[in-house]
């Protein structure tokens, strides 16, 4: 209340049947103060509270005279007090026509400070002097809270739009950009400022017309979703960027008005490339699974839930067995592989893959099937996996055949050697080492030509694939010559006809056979000479000419008995060099007679050939 009392408030028009002048203005003012939701207050010309203010007391819980003078300031929030004092002092000093400010005041019902908006005006007398201040405090806590919430929402929205990986923007009904966030600017490869005020057709030459069509469609029909775009990458020829856009109309409710079209754009380049890669991997997997070379199967836990035909045929099962859940890999595994399987499962759970390892499965008919298996985890809990297996049955058979072949080669009586195409030796079997005088332990440095294979023979074998000849080899330890039958052939290292990487040679000792042939020829000549001989002298000459080659000896003794006479004459044939021709001649020399003289034993005997094994001594008997 002011020093001079409240300013009268105009009365009603008297329609309620009560004369306006009959109501006390002070009562009217106080009734208004009690009914108003705002705090109505009065103060003297100097700004001090001079009368009780019921609405202030109800709001703050302060009683009169606690808020008399400037006691009301005790209810102002400490952080706002100095600002309120300064503003009120300025109003008193300047006599402001209208005073406005806001601050926080203690609110007794809620037990906390609430925001209020203060408005006041000065009442003046006829001389213009301030006689009283009349004002209101209006609780604006809800308004402030709403504004703060709106500001917070706007801040959050701006932050989201600024940092979101998704492009946002909108155009007005004239199709001109009004806003784009940084993500959309990056997708369009333009700055945010370059977008504003321009149309998609002006800004995006490759897809602008299509975007314009979609915006017009959205204005006419409503939202359009999931539109895919692909544009070439300028820095990577042959590669494309991919995006998915959605469009929606922006409508205001009050007044009802469509102000433009908003849109979102998501860059799905990496997702598209990943999908394409996955599609390619799926195609490769399907092709791999469809092949009958590699067994591919997968499952969950111990159960096999999928398998290709190669796996099923390898173990003798059908797709019906898989569909019925009858295949469990532990049941298919014979005893002895538990530790290897446990190690693989542990590695699978830890790293997601198990290195390939060898094991066996049991065929439906019970026989073991050796395999090489590798596993990868598709999901760890529960464990879902995919595996491949290579049937090693053929490899095991090939290894067994290889071991058999190696045993045959090692035990062969023929000399077998393998050399590179340049003639360098890589292998000689034991028979070859014995025949050629090589050390028992393999050594390096020997060449095929060292074993007597002529260069021409090697070249012919490389050209034609096969050569055969009879030749003499020299032993590398003694230098002695060995007559051999030698075969050379190429060994292919691949499917190509010209992929010949090695030469193989098989040499057979034919010395004994050649000697037998020469002896047989000599016997034939001997028989011919004897059949043509006339008389003892010609017979002896025939014997002298052919006996050496027949018996392969240098010193031969032959007993001769004349018909009708018991006496035995022994002739000795000794080889000697003859003349300049270098040939050998045989001469006969009597050595003893039969029967021997009294007191002596018989002296007839064979002289052993120098190149033949020692023969047993013939049984002594009287010749006939």
The residue with greater pLDDT, 554 or 252, is: 252
Is 291-396 the same fold as 164-272? yes
Mean pLDDT of 151-180: 90
Mean pLDDT of 185-198: 92
Cis peptide before 84 (omega within 30 of 0): no
Q: What percent of the chain has pLDDT over 70?
A: 77
Lowest mean pLDDT, pick from 41-55, 269-283, 417-431, 486-500: 486-500
| pLDDT at position 96 over 70 | yes
Cis peptide before 344 (omega within 30 of 0): no
Closest by alpha carbon to 390, among 310, 446, 316?
A: 310
The residue with greater pLDDT, 587 or 279, is: 279
Closest by alpha carbon to 467, among 506, 424, 514?
A: 506
| pLDDT at position 515 over 60 | yes
Q: Per CATH, which fold does 291-396 belong to?
A: Beta-Lactamase (3.30.450)
Mean pLDDT of 553-568: 65
Q: What distance in Å separates the CA atoms of residue 505 and residue 466, rounded to the nearest whole number?
A: 10
Residue 604, pLDDT score: 40
Cβ neighbour number for residue 531 with a 10 Å cutoff: 8
Residue 339, pLDDT score: 92
Tens digits of residue pLDDT in 55-64? 888 899 999 9
| DSSP state letter for 308 | -
Cβ neighbour number for residue 169 with a 10 Å cutoff: 23
Q: Which CATH superfamily is domain 20-145 in?
A: PAS domain (3.30.450.20)
Instruction: Indicate the burial class of 475 (C-beta count within 10 angstroms; 0-12, 13-18, 19 or more).
Output: middle
Question: Which long-range contacts (C-beta less than 8 Å, at least 24 apart) are formed by 54-59?
Answer: 54/30, 56/137, 59/105, 59/107, 59/108, 59/137, 59/139
| pLDDT at position 215 over 90 | yes
Q: What distance in Å separates the CA atoms of residue 586 and residue 548, rounded to the nearest whole number?
A: 8
Tens digits of residue pLDDT in 294-345? 888 999 999 999 999 889 999 999 999 999 999 999 999 999 999 999 999 9
Residue 10, pLDDT score: 40
Residue 578, pLDDT score: 47
Beta bridge partners, 202, equal none
Q: The pTM is what?
A: 0.42
Q: What distance in Å separates the CA atoms of residue 520 and residue 510, rounded to the nearest whole number?
A: 15
Residue 380, pLDDT score: 80
Lowest mean pLDDT, pick from 41-55, 105-119, 221-235, 543-557: 543-557
Q: How many helices (H) and strands (E) does the chain have?
A: 18, 22
Lowest mean pLDDT, pick from 9-13, 72-76, 154-158, 210-214: 9-13
| pLDDT at position 577 over 80 | no
Query: Domain locations in the chain?
Result: 20-145, 164-272, 291-396, 415-509, 534-594
CATH architecture of 164-272: 2-Layer Sandwich (3.30)
Q: What distance in Å separates the CA atoms of residue 215 and residue 260, rounded to the nearest whole number?
A: 9
CB 264 within 8 A of CB 246: yes
Q: What percent of the chain has pLDDT over 90?
A: 30
Report residue 446's pLDDT band, with 50, 70 and 90 as the boundaries.
confident
Report residue 222's pLDDT band, with 50, 70 and 90 as the boundaries.
very high
The residue with greater pLDDT, 236 or 555, is: 236
Residue 50, pLDDT score: 83
Kind plus residue range of the DSSP H or E element containing 93 = helix 78-94
Residue 533, pLDDT score: 76
The residue written with tokens 């050209």 in the block is 463
Q: Per CATH, which fold does 415-509 belong to?
A: Beta-Lactamase (3.30.450)
Give the mean pLDDT of the chain.
Answer: 80
Tens digits of residue pLDDT in 3-30? 333 333 343 444 444 444 555 666 666 6
| pLDDT at position 607 over 90 | no
Residue 112, pLDDT score: 94
């Amino acid at each position: 209340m002011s020093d001079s009392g409240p300013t009268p408030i105009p009365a009603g028009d008297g329609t309620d049947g009560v004369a306006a002048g009959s109501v006390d203005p002070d009562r009217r003012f106080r009734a208004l103060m009690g009914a108003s939701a705002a705090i109505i207050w009065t103060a003297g010309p100097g700004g001090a509270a001079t009368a009780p203010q019921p609405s202030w007391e109800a709001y703050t819980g302060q009683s009169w005279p606690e808020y008399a003078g400037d006691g009301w300031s005790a209810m102002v929030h400490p952080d706002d007090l100095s600002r309120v004092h300064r503003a009120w002092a300025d109003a008193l000093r300047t006599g402001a026509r209208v005073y406005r400010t806001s601050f926080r005041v203690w609110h007794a019902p809620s037990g906390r400070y609430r925001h209020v908006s203060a408005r006041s005006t000065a009442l003046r007398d006829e001389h213009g002097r301030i006689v009283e201040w009349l004002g209101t405090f209006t609780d604006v806590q809800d308004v402030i809270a709403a504004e703060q919430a709106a500001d917070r929402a706007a801040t959050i929205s701006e932050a989201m739009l600024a940092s979101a990986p998704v492009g946002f923007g909108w155009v007005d009904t004239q199709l001109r950009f009004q806003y784009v966030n940084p993500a959309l600017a990056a997708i369009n490869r333009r700055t945010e400022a370059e977008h504003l005020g321009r149309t998609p057709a002006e800004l995006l030459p490759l897809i602008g017309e299509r975007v314009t069509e979609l915006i017009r469609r959205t204005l006419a029909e409503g939202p359009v979703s999931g539109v895919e775009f692909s544009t070439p990458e300028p820095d990577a020829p042959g590669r494309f960027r991919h995006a998915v856009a959605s469009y929606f109309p922006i409508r205001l409710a009050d007044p009802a008005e469509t102000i433009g079209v908003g849109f979102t754009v998501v860059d799905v380049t990496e997702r598209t490339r990943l999908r394409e890669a996955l599609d390619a991997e799926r195609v490769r997997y399907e092709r791999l699974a469809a092949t009958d070379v590699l067994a591919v199967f997968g499952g969950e836990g111990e159960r096999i839930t999928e398998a290709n035909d190669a796996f099923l045929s390898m173990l003798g099962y059908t797709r019906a067995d898989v569909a019925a859940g009858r295949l469990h890999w532990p049941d298919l595994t014979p005893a002895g592989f538990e530790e290897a399987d446990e190690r693989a499962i542990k590695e699978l759970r830890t790293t997601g893959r198990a290195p390939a390892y060898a094991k066996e499965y049991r065929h439906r008919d019970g026989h073991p099937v050796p395999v090489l298996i590798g596993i990868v985890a598709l999901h760890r809990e529960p464990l879902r996996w995919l595996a491949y297996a290579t049937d090693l049955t053929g490899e095991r058979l090939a290894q067994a055949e290889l071991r058999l072949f190696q045993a045959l080669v090692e035990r062969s009586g023929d000399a077998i050697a393998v050399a590179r195409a340049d003639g360098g030796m890589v292998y000689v079997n034991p028979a070859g080492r014995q025949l050629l005088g090589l050390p028992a332990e393999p050594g390096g440095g020997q060449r095929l030509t060292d074993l007597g294979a002529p260069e021409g023979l090697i070249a012919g074998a490389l050209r034609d694939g096969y050569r055969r000849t009879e030749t003499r080899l020299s032993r590398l330890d003694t230098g002695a010559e060995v007559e051999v039958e030698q075969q050379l052939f190429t060994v292919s290292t691949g499917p190509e006809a010209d992929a010949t990487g090695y030469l193989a040679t098989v040499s057979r000792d034919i010395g004994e056979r050649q000697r037998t042939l020469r002896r047989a020829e000599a016997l034939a000549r001997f028989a011919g000479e004897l059949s043509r001989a006339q008389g003892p002298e010609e017979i002896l000459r025939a014997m002298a000419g052919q006996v050496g080659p027949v018996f392969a000896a240098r010193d031969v003794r032959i007993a001769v008995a004349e018909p009708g006479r018991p006496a035995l004459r022994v002739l000795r044939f000794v080889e000697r060099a003859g003349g300049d021709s270098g040939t050998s001649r045989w001469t006969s020399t009597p050595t003893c007679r039969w029967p021997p003289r009294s007191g002596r034993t018989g002296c007839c005997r064979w002289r052993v050939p120098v190149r033949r094994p020692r023969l047993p001594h013939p049984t002594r008997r009287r010749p006939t």
